[in-house]
Amino acid sequence: MEYFLQQLINGLTLGSIYGLIAIGYTMVYGIIGMINFAHGDVFMVGGFIALIAFLALVAIGVSAIPLALFLVLLIAMGLTALYGWTVERFAYRPLRHSFRLAPLISAIGMSIVLQNYVQIVQGARVKPLPPLVEGGHTLIASEDFAVQLSNVQIIVVTTTLLLLAIFSWLVARTRLGRDMRACEQDLKMASLVGINIDRTISLTFVIGASLAAVAGIMYLLYYGVVDFHIGFVAGVKAFTAAVLGGIGSLPGAVLGGLLIGLIETFWSAYFSIEYKDVAAFSVLIIVLIFLPSGILGRPEVEKV
Amino acid sequence: MSAAPDAILAVERLSMRFGGLVAVDDLSFNAQRGHITALIGPNGAGKTTVFNCITGFYKPSAGMIRLSHRDGQTFLLERLIDFRIAQWAKVARTFQNIRLFPGMTALENLVVAQHNVLMAASGFSFVGLLGLKSYGTAERAAVDKARYWLDRTGLLGRGDDLAGGLAYGEQRRLEIARAMCTDPVLLCLDEPAAGLNARESAELNDLLRFIRRDHGVSILLIEHDMSVVMEISDHIVVLDYGVKIADGSPAAIRDDPKVIAAYLGVEDEEVEQAEAEVGR
């Protein structure tokens, strides 16, 4: 029981990170029907920016951890958003009216470019960050096992929930969210009611990238290391999460992320750690056989 | 043809070619401010193509489309990108096959159409959404305006229903309401009476008259339903094979031999229908 609870906590933490990345995939897919394969690498860039920002802040003497965390959050979100914007502006927008596969190929290219760029600039070795947030709480202690909830896990989960709440409000209640949903449903019609669709698409990438940056910070805090290659696996997992939850659906992305995180964690805990990815992807396949549009996805309705 | 002094829309020598096909050929006409102008013609005459050129869907192969506001500002629509036509020139349109945002509620469909007002109120920025007072006020005003148009189109009870779930006639009215929420000076309606029954057509006539009278919006209309066209139009332009064959008042059009010939040139039942409707 204690062991189960511990794995549940670990799984939810990991799932939150996947969920944050998955939102970026699902939003971009919703609005322009394209899989942004470079999104995982934008997450990785976010992690690196966070690492550099931490070290820079420590170097100039900002030693209060909460303040440093907050500043890093702002810096990483801002700069990563700039990366997201740039990727869309230069790699996808010129191909908007091209055939469907062109931006997809461009996205794969962009992913390779970002990976190699970071590899060259930062080196290929794993970069560690000394643990900043230490300690935790023992929830239940029995004779042979104590359930630990570390402070990092609390930060990861609460930040994720907070951002999701803000973000859901933004999409459901504000002008920006309405514009995005209108673009999602009928891009051309949206422009006819006066919405600047290029701007709205850019903003979607900016929001997706800044959430990926948050995921990058959380990853860095949780694992304490980043390297140029983390974006690939995390990206594929988050993409899986988005598809599992129903691509195009925001709550679906989060739900999918949590599920992938839980499956992976429980499989590693009870069966074998080597095959955790196999388990996650097998569940994806099974779900897609029975629910082709994902758990919360809307089924495609044929227009008559 | 030079523009008449109070033409809201002046189409001059407009041509649209698709490869070898000439859909619209050297077309000129004016729509007067405060008038309801109808664009009629047999199927395939190029009416919707003209609309698509006016609203930025197509870039005309040749010609000029000039829109003038009351204050003397003029816009060359063929040079504006699509969202600027709604934003600056203030032209709104509806579609032959309805294009609402089906996954949003009726009310949201009308609020999203007020994008530009809200955009300005939120200071054109992300931060504005989070707490500018002007944005909150504008948002409430937008909802009020949306309710006003729901009321006018008889949809007040359906505000929270998804647009895609509304009945056909309701969707048609909602589309007009949404177009009106963009604050247009010119409203372009593509077959607004298609699929409506006699009672709904009569309500549509009233709605269009109300829009013109109380909101001072000029209307350009494509319509096959002659009971609508003949009753509410001030001016009719007839197209056939992309060429203008007649241009005048409903009474003049009704008796124009070229118009009758154009309709006679098509399938039998449509001729009978047209003849019956113009009262021959």
CATH for A24:
1.10.3470
Q: Does position B243 have pLDDT exceeding 80, yes or no?
A: yes
What is the domain range of residue A154? 2-290
Query: Within a domain: residue A144?
Result: yes
Q: Does position B20 have pLDDT exceeding 90, yes or no?
A: no
Query: pLDDT-derived band of residue B2, with 50, 70 and 90 as boundaries?
Result: very low
Residues 219-258 of B with CB under 8 A from A: none
Q: How many CB pairs under 8 A join A and B?
A: 76
Residues 105-124 of B with CB under 8 A from A: 108, 111-113, 115-116, 118-119, 122
Of A179, A184, A186, the CB nearest to B115: A179
Instruction: Enumerate the domain spans of chain B.
Output: 1-90+184-280, 101-183
**Residue A50 CB contacts under 8 Å (≥ 6 apart), including other chains:** A72, A75, A76, A213, A216, A217, A220
More confident residue, B129 or B169: B169
Query: Within a domain: residue A79?
Result: yes
Q: Is A194 close to B86, i.e. CB distance below 8 A?
A: yes
Q: Does B94 touch chain A (CB under 8 A)?
A: no
Superfamily of domain B1-90+184-280: P-loop containing nucleotide triphosphate hydrolases (3.40.50.300)
Q: Is B104 close to A178, i.e. CB distance below 8 A?
A: yes
A160-179: per-residue pLDDT in tens? 888 888 888 888 888 888 89
Query: pLDDT-derived band of residue B131, with 50, 70 and 90 as boundaries?
Result: low
Beta pairing class for B91-93 and B186-190: parallel
Q: Which two tokens stand for residue B146?
A: 């949306």
Query: Within a domain: residue A295?
Result: no
pLDDT score of B3? 45
Q: Does A165 touch chain B (CB under 8 A)?
A: no
Query: pLDDT-derived band of residue A275, with 50, 70 and 90 as boundaries?
Result: confident
Query: Within a domain: residue A42?
Result: yes
In the three-class reduction of DSSP (H, G, I as helix; E, B as strand; rest coil), residue B119 is classed as helix
Residues 68-87 of B with CB under 8 A from A: 82-83, 85-87
Alpha helices in B93-248 (DSSP H): 106-112, 115-121, 126-129, 133-152, 168-181, 198-215, 226-232
> Nearest to residue A156, comparing CAs of A45, A23, A17, A259?
A17
Give the mean pLDDT of chain A. 88
Q: What is the 3-state secondary structure (H, E, C) of A136-174?
A: EEEEEECCCCEEEEEHHHHHHHHHHHHHHHHHHHHHHHC
Query: Within a domain: residue A301?
Result: no
Range of weakest confidence among A260-274, A287-301, B27-41? A287-301
Q: Is the pTM of this model over 0.95?
A: no
**Residue B202 CB contacts under 8 Å (≥ 6 apart), including other chains:** none
Q: How far is CA B185 from CA B92, B97, B173, B215, in A?
A: 8, 23, 18, 9
Gap between the Cα atoms of A208 and A220, Å rounded: 18
A32-76: per-residue pLDDT in tens? 888 899 999 999 999 999 999 999 998 888 778 889 889 999 999
Q: H-helix or E-strand containing B259?
A: helix B257-264
Q: What percent of chain B has pLDDT over 90?
A: 38
Residues 167-206 of A with CB under 8 A from B: 170, 174-176, 178-179, 181-182, 184-186, 188-197, 203
Q: Is B83 close to A185, i.e. CB distance below 8 A?
A: no
Query: pLDDT-derived band of residue A134, with 50, 70 and 90 as boundaries?
Result: confident
Prediction ipTM score: 0.80
Query: Within a domain: residue A297?
Result: no
- Average pLDDT value for residue range A219-229: 91
Give the mean pLDDT of chain B. 85
Query: Within a domain: residue A263?
Result: yes
Query: Within a domain: residue A157?
Result: yes
Gap between the Cα atoms of A57 and A38, Å rounded: 28
Considering only CB atoms, which chain B residues are within 8 Å of A185? 101-104
Q: Does position A243 have pLDDT exceeding 60, yes or no?
A: yes
More confident residue, A268 or B6: A268
Q: Looking at the 3D structure of chain A, how many domains does it have?
A: 1
Q: Does position B266 have pLDDT exceeding 60, yes or no?
A: no
